[in-house]
Amino acid sequence: MAKFKFDIKCIFSQPVVQISSNLLPHTFIGDRRMAMDVTSKVSQIIDRLGELSAVAQKLSKPITSAQKLRMSENQTVYLMADINGCDGDVVIGLLKIGTKNLYLFDSSGQTRKIDKARCILDFYIHESRQRMGVGKILFDIMLTEEHWTPVKCSVDRPSEKLIQFLKKYYGLEKIIPQANKFVLYEGFFDEDGDDDANRG
């Protein structure tokens, strides 16, 4: 778990909050002074969770940080906390999503330009909370809020754990090979009308 020296309840009025480039929770209500205080705390949380995610994935440096999020208008970070749990108030998960313009191969090997492709960019659940369904709760909240379906998501450099997670919970296993480091699955290029049939 990620513990902090400050009270995280001012950020987590609910277990999962969305953070965009302004570094404020989507639930935030307050004046300018309060906003500055909250953005400072959110920055520390995102940086710490980004570091933990990088370590878990054996990356040389974090791919998620407050500074990167501040500079990205088309990205959102979902943070998950356990408030009043047996370990106190702790942050236990991070999921970063966004949209990118990508050139991707379809299942026939043809190159297709996808504008604003839905991307899973970083996903981390603290080791102490894995295999407890916490990750699926966080992922499902994101899918609901964004109106996304799993098969329509491209995944940036997924770890083996994430590949197994998507297979277990959403039935995603037939990968369409790509030249870049994104992973996508059969059904990604199907018409949007088929989305409901592809939801896991």
- Residue 101 phi/psi, 5° resolution? -90, 115
The DSSP annotation for 88-115 comes to: EEEEEEEEEEEEEEEEEE-TTS-EEEEE
What percent of the chain lies above the pLDDT cut of 90? Answer: 80
Distance (Å, whole) CA 160 – CA 175: 13
Residue 2 lies in a domain: no
> In the predicted model, is pLDDT for residue 187 greater than 80?
yes
User: pLDDT at position 102, please?
Assistant: 96
Name the packing angle between helices 160-170 and 134-146 (round to 10°): 70
Residue 3 domain-assigned (yes or no): no
Tokens of 46: 């995102």
Return the higher-pLDDT residue of 188 and 1: 188
- Does residue 193 surpass a pLDDT of 70? no
- Residues at the binding site for acetyl-CoA are 123-136, 159-168
Q: Which residues carry a binding-site annotation?
A: 123-136, 159-168
Taking the C-alpha atoms of residue 162 and residue 186, their distance in angstroms, rounded to an integer, is: 17
Task: Indicate if the pLDDT at residue 200 is higher than 70.
Answer: no
CATH number of the domain enclosing 103:
3.40.630.30
Domain that holds residue 13: 8-198
Q: What are phi and psi of 129, to 5 degrees?
A: -115, 5
1 found inside a domain? no
Q: What is the CA radius of gyration of the chain?
A: 17
Nearest to 170 by CA among 149, 190, 191: 149
Q: Which pLDDT does position 130 carry in this prediction? A: 84
Query: How many contiguous H segments (helices) and E segments (strands) does the chain have?
Result: 5, 7
Return the half-sphere exposure (C-beta side, CA atoms, 13 A cut-off) of residue 76. Answer: 15
Cα-to-chain-centroid distance, residue 9: 21
Q: Over the stretch 72-120, which tens digit does the pLDDT of each residue have? A: 999 999 999 998 766 668 999 999 999 999 999 999 999 999 999 999 9
Residue 154 lies inside a defined structural domain of this protein:
yes
In-domain check, residue 49: yes
Structural domains in the chain (count) = 1
Q: What is the mean pLDDT of residues 50-62?
A: 95
Mean pLDDT of the chain: 92
Give pTM, 2 decimals: 0.91
What pLDDT, in 10s, does the model give residues 147-165? 999 999 999 999 999 999 9
